[in-house]
Amino acid sequence: MSEREVPGELDPQDAKLVTLARGARGRVGAVEGAAVRDTTGRTYSGASVALAHLQVSALALAVAQAAASGATGLEAAALVTGQDTLADSDVAAVRDLGGPGVPVLRVGTDGGLRARTTT
């Protein structure tokens, strides 16, 4: 995985992922929100879960929802976070369902694109 800084605007489909991820985060006041788009164009979102006996990252949850809904591949993923890097385990989860070459966007809590990496 190599992450690179990418200033600028998002294409409309990736902007939709960011909107969904921000919404998932905001609805429950979670630390992170994420969204993924499968190869048929369907989208799935999730927020990080931090319970006493269950910890799930937002991106892992979005991937799990896609897989549980029958998705067989991913086109793109977005994570809204205040962190400066993507967790290797999150990128691995996207790779598990999407394979190599899936773009993963790291977006700040303000909605600005911070970096883009690929699986």
| Per-residue pLDDT tens over the stretch 39-71 | 999 999 999 999 999 999 999 999 999 999 999
Tell whether 4 is covered by a domain. Answer: no
CATH number for 67 = 3.40.140.10
Please answer whether residues 67 and 93 qualify as being in contact, where contact means their C-beta atoms are separated by less than 8 angstroms: no
Tell whether 94 is covered by a domain. Answer: yes
Tell whether 52 is covered by a domain. Answer: yes
Tell whether 6 is covered by a domain. Answer: no
**Whole-structure pTM value:** 0.92
Tell whether 64 is covered by a domain. Answer: yes
CA 37 to chain CA mean position, Å: 9
Tell whether 119 is covered by a domain. Answer: no
- Over residues 82-107, mean pLDDT: 97
How many other C-beta atoms can be found within 10 angstroms of the C-beta atom of residue 26? 13
Give the number of domains in the chain.
1
How many other C-beta atoms can be found within 10 angstroms of the C-beta atom of residue 118? 17
The pLDDT > 70 percentage for the chain reads 93
